[in-house]
Structure formats: structure tokens, C-alpha cells
């Protein structure tokens, strides 16, 4: 049994869906779970819609119409007019129609999940319709009834016992006669509300299904030939890894390598299931395999870039030392605001942390920190992490830049740059 995950770039247009169907046809006879992300940049567009709705701006309906037209255009290219998928998609979009006619809920993260999740629901409806149109017998599955989470919106914590129990109960029988098509990124609460698993969480969804079902492998189909040492959008002459160990992949994702969601690897490692990262444009190519016992070879350092960073400096109001008591309180406030720390450093009088800028969460964190501490910050910064760094690589990346914070250990260098 195999699990395939297709990201937004692979289903951004009609040709992408045709290509996806061809890849799946090449696995005839395999039991297959297909996990699909929202199409193209739909998640970004739905985030704009969410912000317009929450802020009460006039372009709410214009943004929504743009999203709908994008999907209807793909449907027209695939099926012409009159296909039942048009009604399915219209009925799915109604969930947003109902929401934006009411006053916004107080919890931004709750609103975000209810709106943004529609991207995956729509994309999988279209993929499922296309599969059946081209003779691939498939079954659409609402993942919210299978991946059960708590009520932590935008970062749903999976209830593994409940999730695995229902997946193992229902999915094997479906796979005996169908390809199963379902959504990445989404989960459901006990109150039947939608949660999301964190940005780019479709990889994690695939690993959950694979782990619960004892899959032979997970393949995530990307617009790159495999896992590279750096993002080709920022760096020339990147090199592809033929294989990586689970441990190295976990380190890379922890520091922000976007090719794999950070939570993806651990369920696969626990079940000893290999992860293949391959190009949907060149499906016959080998790509990269992440597995136990892989030999890690680093001809160049691994370079991970995180932009839109904030560097916070937190100190006691009375200029006292930053003690373990202070740190415990500070970490508690970060956790309460759901803000993750990408890099940190302590001195006698201050605690410094580099974080992603998420406006709603940052404002909440800042407000609570200022009740007990003095806080200064710089924004619009870049965090660069180098795994297996060289002094030459560090010098090249910091040339003509202001280094606000630097840390190195045996394998890793981190630089906060302005």
C-alpha cells in the first residue's frame, strides 16, 4: 500500500491534474491513498479573504469571487460544461458564503481554519472527479472524520489513538476497490469544527495515514527534483541529495527547510516507512529517499532561509538578572501565544529570541510580555541556518549584511541578518 501526497504546485491548473492522473495510472494495481493540497496559491488567497473578512474591508466578496472563478476555470478546461463537479464545488464554497455573511467570531485562529480549509475540500473534489472521469475508480474522503485533533486552531494536536483506530477500521476496505482521495492539512474536533495542522501540513497528513496503515512508502510530489541543499529560488548551483537519514531530515525541517513539514518524519521513522521526495514533472527520476541507515553526504552546506523574522530582546524592568524563574515565565507566555522560537540566547540581563512574524500572535505576545518585562525588537529580518557549515559559506552569506545575532556549534551555524 502506498501514500502519495501532491502539493499545490502540482495541481495549480488543468494540465497539472492531467499529469497527476497519469502518475497515478502508472501505479495500476497498487492500493493507494492520495493526499492533495489546495490548488496553486489558493491558501494564500483564502488567507487574504480571512483577513478581509475579519477586518471588515470592502473587497471581501471580490477576493472570494476571484477564488471561485480560478477553480471554475480549471473545471471548464477539464470537463467543459455541465459536469456534476460544478455543483459539488459550488456547494463546498457555500460554507464560506454562510460564514462571511455573519459577524466575525472573536477567535481569529478559529475563523482562519474554517475558511482556509475550504481550499483542500475543493481541490480534492476536483481531483476525485478527474480520476473517475479518466477511468481511475476513486473515493472522496472527508479527512476531518479521520484525523482527530484537539481545539488548537491552526496547530491542531492529533489524537493518535482515536485517529489510528478509525483509519484502521475504515480505510483498508475502501482501498480494496478504490483509490482514496483525501485532503492534506486538515483535521476535525469532537465538536465537528475544522482544524488545520500547521502551514504546509499536507506532508504530515500523508505520514499519519502511512503510519496508521503500515504503508510501504510515502511519496511527496514536488516542483523540485528532490531534497536540495538550498532553495533554488535563492541560490544557484544547488545539489540534490540521493538519500538522507531520518535524523538529518528532522534537523533540516526543525530549522525551517520548507520541502517537508517538520512533523512529517517522526511517524515514518517510528514505523520505519521511507519517504520519497520526487518531481511531479519528471516522475521516473529517482528523487530523494529519507530512510533509516541512509548515508548522508554533504558536498555543500545545507542552507535554510527564513524571512520576515523578528528579533526580540526581553529584560527585567528592575534590571535584575534573567533567572530560571524569569525564563519559565517567558517560555510560558510564548507557549500561550503559540509563538515558536527559531533561535534564542541568554545573557545576564536579557533573553533574546528570533521568531516568525505572525501579526496576530506577535501582537498578543508583545502585549503580555510588556506587562512584566521591558521589550525591544527589530523586524523585517532574515534568519539563515547552515547545517554542516564552512567558514567560507558563512563569510559569503554575511558579506554586506549586518549580523544581529550569530550562534555556532559543531554542525550548525545560525545568523540573524539585516
> Residue 285: inside a domain, yes or no?
no
Please indicate, yes or no, whether residues 199 and 315 belong to a single structural domain of this protein.
Answer: no
Q: Mean per-residue pLDDT for 38-42? A: 97
pLDDT of residue 167: 98
Q: What is the pLDDT of residue 278?
A: 97
Q: How confident is the model at residue 28 (pLDDT cuts 50, 70, 90)?
A: confident
Residues 208 and 313 in one domain: no
Task: Name the pLDDT band for 177 (thresholds 50, 70, 90).
Answer: very high
Residue 294 lies inside a defined structural domain of this protein: no
**Mean pLDDT value across residues 86-115:** 94
Query: How many domains is the chain partitioned into structurally?
Result: 2
For residues 114 and 206, membership in a common domain is answered with yes
Residue 83 has pLDDT above 90, yes or no: yes
The answer to whether residue 262 sits within a structural domain is: no
Looking at the structure, tell me whether residues 209 and 312 fall in a common domain: no
What is the residue range of 88's domain? 2-222
Residue 351 domain flag:
yes
Residue 291 lies in a domain: no
Report the chain's mean pLDDT, rounded to a whole number.
Answer: 95
The CATH number of the domain where 195 resides is what? 3.40.1160.10
Please say which residue of 200, 222, 244 terminates a domain. Answer: 222
If you average pLDDT over residues 139-149, what whole number do you get?
A: 98
pLDDT surpassing 90 at residue 106: no
Residue 280 maps to a domain:
no
pLDDT in tens, 195-227: 999 888 899 999 999 999 999 999 999 999 999
Question: Rounded to two decimals, what is the model's pTM?
Answer: 0.93
Query: Which one, of 143, 173, 174, 181, lies nearest residue 20 by Cα?
Result: 181
Q: Tell me, what CATH number does 331's domain have?
A: 3.30.2130.10
In a shared domain, residues 153 and 43: yes
What was the pLDDT predicted at 409? 94
Flag whether 258 is in a domain: no
Q: Assess whether 63 and 187 both reside in one domain.
A: yes
The sign of the torsion formed by the CA atoms of 376, 381, 387, 391 equals negative
Q: 39 and 137: one domain?
A: yes
- Domain membership flag for residue 264: no
Amino acid at each position: 500500500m502506498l501514500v502519495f501526497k501532491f502539493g499545490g504546485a502540482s495541481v495549480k491548473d488543468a494540465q497539472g491534474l492531467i499529469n497527476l492522473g497519469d502518475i497515478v495510472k502508472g501505479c495500476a494495481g497498487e492500493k493507494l491513498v492520495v493526499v492533495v493540497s489546495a490548488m496553486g496559491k489558493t491558501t494564500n488567497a483564502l488567507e487574504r479573504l480571512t483577513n478581509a473578512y475579519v477586518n471588515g474591508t470592502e473587497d471581501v466578496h471580490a477576493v472570494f469571487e476571484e477564488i471561485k472563478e480560478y477553480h471554475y476555470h480549471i473545471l471548464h478546461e477539464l470537463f467543459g460544461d455541465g459536469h456534476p463537479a460544478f455543483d459539488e464545488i459550488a456547494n463546498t464554497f457555500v460554507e464560506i458564503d454562510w460564514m462571511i455573511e455573519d459577524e466575525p467570531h472573536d477567535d481569529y485562529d478559529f475563523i482562519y481554519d474554517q475558511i482556509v480549509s475550504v481550499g483542500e475540500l475543493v481541490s480534492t473534489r476536483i481531483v476525485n472527479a478527474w480520476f473517475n472521469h479518466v477511468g481511475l475508480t476513486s473515493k472522496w474522503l472527508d479527512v476531518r472524520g479521520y484525523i482527530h485533533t484537539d481545539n488548537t486552531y491552526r496547530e491542531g494536536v492529533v489524537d493518535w489513538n482515536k485517529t489510528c483506530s478509525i483509519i484502521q477500521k475504515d480505510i483498508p476496505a475502501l482501498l480494496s476497490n478504490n483509490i482514496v482521495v483525501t485532503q492534506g492539512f486538515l483535521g476535525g474536533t469532537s465538536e465537528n469544527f475544522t482544524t488545520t495542522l500547521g502551514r504546509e501540513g499536507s506532508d504530515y497528513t500523508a505520514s499519519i495515514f502511512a503510519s496508521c496503515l503500515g504503508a510501504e512508502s510515502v511519496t511527496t510530489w514536488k516542483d523540485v527534483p528532490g531534497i536540495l541543499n538550498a532553495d533554488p529560488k535563492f541560490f544557484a548551483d544547488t545539489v540534490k541529495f540521493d538519500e538522507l537519514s531520518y535524523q538529518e531530515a528532522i534537523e533540516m525541517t526543525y530549522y525551517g527547510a520548507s520541502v517537508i513539514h517538520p512533523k512529517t518524519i517522526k511517524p515514518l521513522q517510528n514505523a520505519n516507512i521511507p519517504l520519497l521526495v520526487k518531481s511531479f514533472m519528471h516522475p521516473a527520476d529517482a528523487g530523494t529517499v529519507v530512510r533509516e541507515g541512509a548515508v548522508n553526504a554533504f558536498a555543500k552546506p545545507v542552507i535554510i532561509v527564513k524571512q520576515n523574522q523578528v528579533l526580540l530582546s526581553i529584560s527585567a524592568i528592575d534590571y535584575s538578572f534573567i533567572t530560571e524563574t524569569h525564563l519559565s515565565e517567558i517560555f510560558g507566555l510564548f507557549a500561550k501565544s503559540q509563538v515558536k522560537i527559531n533561535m534564542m540566547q541568554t545573557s545576564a540581563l536579557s533573553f533574546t529570541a528570533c521568531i516568525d512574524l505572525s501579526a496576530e500572535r506577535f501582537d498578543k505576545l508583545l502585549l503580555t510580555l510588556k506587562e512584566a518585562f521591558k521589550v525591544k525588537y527589530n523586524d523585517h529580518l532574515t534568519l539563515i541556518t547552515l547545517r554542516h557549515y564552512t567558514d567560507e559559506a558563512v563569510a559569503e552569506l554575511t558579506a554586506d549584511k549586518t549580523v544581529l545575532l550569530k550562534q555556532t556549534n559543531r554542525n550548525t551555524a545560525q545568523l540573524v541578518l539585516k
